[in-house]
Structure 1
Amino acid sequence: MSEVRPAVVAIDGGNSKTEVLVVSREGGVLAESRGPGASPQNVGVDGCVAALETLVLSALTSAGLPTTRPFGVHTSAYLAGLDFPREEEALHAALFARGWSSTLHVGNDVLALLRAGSSDGTGVAVVCGAGINGAGVGPDGRIHRFPALGKVSGDWGGGYRLGEEALWWAVRAEDGRGPSTALKAAVSGFFGVSRVFDVVQGLHFKEIDSARIHGLCPLLFDVAAAGDEVAQQVVTRFVEEVSVFAAVILRRLDLTHAAPEVVLGGGVLTGVGPSVISEIERRCLKVAPRAVVRVVDVNPVVGAALFGLDELGASSSAKAALKAATQRTPMWRSVR
């Protein structure tokens, strides 16, 4: 039997984690690995490339595959922090110089989410993990994107920001500047202290890692689901923000009268309850009544791999095999 050779080295990298899949032309998963975020905006282009190569070599080694170059026929790398053409060009040049493959494509990670969750790579995707972003691809190939640089580019609602909101309201409930909210007890309990003031003090003196603020995001949704009005107001704003991303893209790409797929993904959106997703769906349907809204049921790195198989002209059965092999049970999916 002939040896199955790697065809696509696929990478999806967000702000908090990076995943690698090495797949065959037939859609088989040959190797995989996972590591911390390696966005070039956070660690620089050189740091990003070094981190990605470490993960690719780890995947190949763990699977007993050759680590000599080229690693595959095509490299498909989609990462957070590729928000402008010059950023894509810089990473493309640096990766191509490593000789991983004869062909290479890089892009923003939200496009990998769209390819992973839609039937043909067109439609709308909104991702909310550590940050928030959205993008869309029309049937005519037009793309609409956002810079996704945080507040400076008009963004609100990433997981870290939602955690900050939970802390902000808890502080104000305790010191009297804001309304009473169950977030006060929930936040102090999360950090294992008796007062929210102790959290503020710990963050100020760096006795508490500020990265832990992100962990308040699931707590916010739990408190809202239990009926707390303050937490519900924050969640409502989050729903509005996700829905606005989708609505703008649907309108800009002239998809309001079509039947576009709207794909939701990222750690926050895949973890919220059915009521939150249902409300996002309701708002999307007001803009595009025939839209199909769903939470992605494979990791976005699968989208990067599918892009690679597209590039190589792989069969539809190969792509179906890849999705079947990597599918996970979603916490919620559209019932329409």
Structure 2
Amino acid sequence: MAAVTLVLGVDGGNSKTDVAVVTGDGELRAWVRGPGSATGPDRAAAIVADLVQRTGLDLSDATGGCHLAGVDLPFQADAVRAALARRGVVAEVANDAWALLRAGAPPSAPAVAVVGGAGLKCVARAGATTVEFPGLGWQSGDLSGAGDHLAREAVRAAARAEDGRGPATALVDAVRGLLGLPSVAVLAERLLRGELTERDLDGLVPAVLDAWRDGDPVASALVSGLAEEIAVSARAARRAAGASGASGASGAEGRADWTLVLGGGLLADPAGRLLAALPTDLWDEFAPSVVTGPPVAGAVLLGLDRLGVTGRDDDVRRAFRDAEPKVLP
């Protein structure tokens, strides 16, 4: 009996890491989920290698692709690849935005992908041309994340409102109420002492979006600024990938040619709050594709692409839709 070709796909972010294995026919053989791997290369590789082992499959000859948040530059990808190899896992390594893009658009389609979760990342592909903005933060011209950015700016605005340096905002009560603190000043002190971390502020993000929806001017400025950054990044990535080379079109025709793939906790929010804040004229330039399923489906589809296997997109998406990951500690 001929050996079954296996494809390994990994998608890792701040909150979780998914490892999945499919056959060359698109059959889902394993799907396990563990802790977040947006860490240093050795820790990320250890998490991924452990999950790979716990699939229970022999993946020594599998085609593998490992897509992780925080892998933004070639030297980071090289470090993770080497750390994986030391643990017996051979895989291509790239940012998780590439898995999202493939999950939401076929390989033949010119597309831009924006991940909006804790971080913010934008990539684009048109034919053989690829574009990736670093997403490192202020030092590479980027916002310091998406959810992280909103949480930090909410604290900043609340602190200024509390002491009179800034306009009044509902974010003061949101910040105080999140952790049951008497003041924003106490939050600052506890962060400085290390009694709290920025991860403790994650719950502020839905509060900021709700305040925006309720018309709070300060929250509206924060959310609108993030939405505008997403639109600016998508348009710049499209230009850099060579829109004229792909279609030379604009308006309705350009929309048909280019897809904007959106995903991550903020952009795949079932309430659609950040999506609703995006500039409406963006949809004159892009056809939207919001990925609500697991981006690891895109990771395995990229593996199938490397094998030259086509026509399995629907099978793979259906397999993940009908399954649940085995969640591991």
TM (normalized to structure 1)? 0.84
Alpha-carbon deviation of 1:113? 0.6
Alpha-carbon deviation of 1:73? 1.9
Deviations 1:222-263 (A, max 9, x none): 111111111011111011111011010122223372320101
Please tell me whether the aligned partners of residues 110 and 127 of structure 1 are also in contact (alpha carbons under 8 angstroms). Answer: yes
1:287-298 aligned within 5 A: 288=285, 291-298=286-293
Please tell me whether the aligned partners of residues 7 and 303 of structure 2 are also in contact (alpha carbons under 8 angstroms). Answer: yes
Structure 2 Cα separation of the partners of residues 106 and 205 of structure 1 = 37
Paired positions, count:
310
DSSP-derived class of the 2:203 partner? helix
The amino acid of 2:206's aligned partner reads P
Q: 2:258 aligns with which of 257, 260, 264?
A: 260
1:271-290 aligned within 5 A: 271=269, 273-274=271-272, 276-280=274-278, 282-285=280-283, 288=285
Q: 1:185 aligns with which of 149, 170, 173?
A: 173
The aligned counterpart of 1:30 is 29
Alpha-carbon deviation of 1:98? 4.0
DSSP-derived class of the 2:220 partner? helix
The aligned counterpart of 2:327 is none
1:47 aligns with 2:43: yes
The aligned counterpart of 2:53 is 57
Structure 2 Cα separation of the partners of residues 110 and 32 of structure 1 = 20
Structure 2 Cα separation of the partners of residues 232 and 272 of structure 1 = 19
Structure 2 Cα separation of the partners of residues 297 and 215 of structure 1 = 21
Alpha-carbon deviation of 1:281? 5.5
The aligned counterpart of 1:246 is 234
The amino acid of 1:47's aligned partner reads R
Specify whether residues 201 and 99 from structure 1 end up closer, same or farther in structure 2 by C-alpha distance, changes over 3 A only.
closer
Q: 1:83 aligns with which of 49, 62, 72?
A: 72
Runs of 4+ in 1 over 4 A off after TM superposition: 2-6
DSSP-derived class of the 1:177 partner? coil
Alpha-carbon deviation of 1:3? 11
The aligned counterpart of 2:103 is 116
Moved more, 80-89 or 294-303: 80-89
The amino acid of 2:304's aligned partner reads L
Structure 2 Cα separation of the partners of residues 149 and 161 of structure 1 = 12
Q: 1:165 aligns with which of 153, 169, 175?
A: 153
Deviations 1:248-304 (A, max 9, x none): 012222337232010111112112744542442624235x2xx20121132211111
Please tell me whether the aligned partners of residues 6 and 22 of structure 1 are also in contact (alpha carbons under 8 angstroms). Answer: no
The aligned counterpart of 2:318 is 324
Deviations 1:42-87 (A, max 9, x none): 32x32222111111122x1xxxx34x551x5211111123222233
Please tell me whether the aligned partners of residues 243 and 283 of structure 1 are also in contact (alpha carbons under 8 angstroms). Answer: no
1:145 aligns with 2:132: yes
Specify whether residues 283 and 4 from structure 1 end up closer, same or farther in structure 2 by C-alpha distance, changes over 3 A only.
farther
The aligned counterpart of 2:116 is 128
Sequence identity of aligned pairs in percent? 36
Structure 2 Cα separation of the partners of residues 49 and 160 of structure 1 = 24
Please tell me whether the aligned partners of residues 69 and 99 of structure 1 are also in contact (alpha carbons under 8 angstroms). Answer: no
Please tell me whether the aligned partners of residues 228 and 279 of structure 2 are also in contact (alpha carbons under 8 angstroms). Answer: no
RMSD of Structure 2 on Structure 1 (CA): 2.3
Specify whether residues 294 and 315 from structure 1 end up closer, same or farther in structure 2 by C-alpha distance, changes over 3 A only.
closer
Please tell me whether the aligned partners of residues 124 and 249 of structure 1 are also in contact (alpha carbons under 8 angstroms). Answer: yes
Gaps in structure 2 of 5+ consecutive residues: 323-329
Specify whether residues 183 and 26 from structure 1 end up closer, same or farther in structure 2 by C-alpha distance, changes over 3 A only.
same
Structure 1 Cα separation of the partners of residues 3 and 267 of structure 2 = 36
TM (normalized to structure 2)? 0.86
Alpha-carbon deviation of 1:197? 2.4
The amino acid of 1:57's aligned partner reads Q
Specify whether residues 176 and 313 from structure 1 end up closer, same or farther in structure 2 by C-alpha distance, changes over 3 A only.
same
